[in-house]
C-alpha cells in the first residue's frame, strides 16, 4: 500500500569500524496503513542487486533496541507505529558496496483480519561512495 516509502535511501550507512565495516543499516517504514506488534512482522528480506541476505544476518530496531527476526516472533509488547521509521541492520562483511546498487526490502506482515500475509516491497537505486 505504501511500498514506495518503505526504504529511505538517504539513510543507508555502513556499521562497525570505518576501516572494516561489518554491515550496513538503513531506515524503513511500515508498508501497511496501521501499526503492528513486532510479532506480526514475519519476514524482512533484504537484498542488494538480487542477492538476498540470510535471515540470521538481519536485525530490526523500532527505537527500543535491536532484535533478531526470531526474537521478533515472540515480542508481543512492542509495536511498530505507522509512519514511524525503524532501522534495519544487516551483517555483511565490508558493509554496503561502493558504487551504484539496487537495495530491496520485502516486508511479510501478518494482518489479523486477512487470511493471507501482506507482502510489501520496495526497491531503491543507491549510489554509495
**CATH number of the domain encompassing residue 42:** 2.60.40
CA pair distance 54, 73, nearest whole angstrom: 17
pLDDT tens column, 2-55: 899 999 999 999 999 999 999 999 999 999 999 999 999 999 999 999 999 999
> Residue 38: which H helix or E strand, with range?
none
Residue 128: CB atoms within 10 A of its CB come to: 17
pLDDT tens column, 62-91: 999 999 999 999 999 999 999 999 999 999
How is residue 65 written as a grid cell?
533496541
How is residue 115 written as a grid cell?
487470511
Q: Which domain holds residue 124?
A: 3-128
Q: What is the number of domains present in the chain?
A: 1
Q: What is the pTM of this model?
A: 0.94
Amino acid at each position: 500500500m505504501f511500498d514506495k516509502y518503505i526504504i529511505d535511501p538517504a539513510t543507508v550507512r555502513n556499521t562497525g569500524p570505518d576501516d572494516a565495516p561489518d554491515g550496513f543499516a538503513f531506515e524503513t517504514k511500515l508498508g501497511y496503513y496501521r501499526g503492528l506488534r513486532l510479532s506480526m512482522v514475519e519476514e524482512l528480506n533484504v537484498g542488494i542487486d538480487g542477492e538476498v541476505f540470510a535471515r540470521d544476518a538481519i536485525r530490526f530496531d523500532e527505537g527500543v533496541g535491536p532484535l533478531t527476526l526470531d526474537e521478533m516472533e515472540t515480542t508481543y509488547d512492542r509495536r511498530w507505529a505507522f509512519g514511524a521509521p525503524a532501522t534495519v541492520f544487516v551483517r555483511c562483511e565490508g558493509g554496503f558496496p561502493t558504487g551504484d546498487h539496487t537495495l530491496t526490502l520485502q516486508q511479510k506482515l501478518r494482518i489479523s483480519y486477512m487470511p493471507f500475509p501482506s507482502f510489501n516491497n520496495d526497491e531503491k537505486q543507491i549510489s554509495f561512495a
